[in-house]
Structure 1
Amino acid sequence: MTAAAVGHLVKAGLLVYLGGGTQFPDVHPDQVAALARRRDLPALGFTVEASGTIRPRE
């Protein structure tokens, strides 16, 4: 997951920011795994790549 995606997901209320720098934010791996399984991410403006990487749709 990119740092930009983390920022967008935190702002959307879908992920909790645990700290760290803005370039390398800390998030809980279980939260990310659960988020990657959501089927509505495209409707929320995100894409999930085959590798599981979540990115904001450009």
Structure 2
Amino acid sequence: MTGDQKAKGKKEQAKGKAKETIGRAVGNERMEAEGRAEQSKGDARQAKEKAKDAFKH
């Protein structure tokens, strides 16, 4: 299960980065902001899973 959450976090980060880049390229500030938000969500998920792993060991 932890692996699934880590993968989901990575996916959110990548999707957010792509969205931010596209938004910046076309001048769409909203899309750019949504991309940054998705990246942050992915970062938070990754941090949560790393913390769980640290307490398991």
Superposition TM-score, scaled by structure 2 size:
0.27
Between Structure 1 and Structure 2, the one with more strand by share is 1
Between Structure 1 and Structure 2, the one with more helix by share is 2
Superposition TM-score, scaled by structure 1 size:
0.26
| Bigger relative contact order, structure 1 or 2 (CA pairs below 8 A, ≥6 apart) | 2
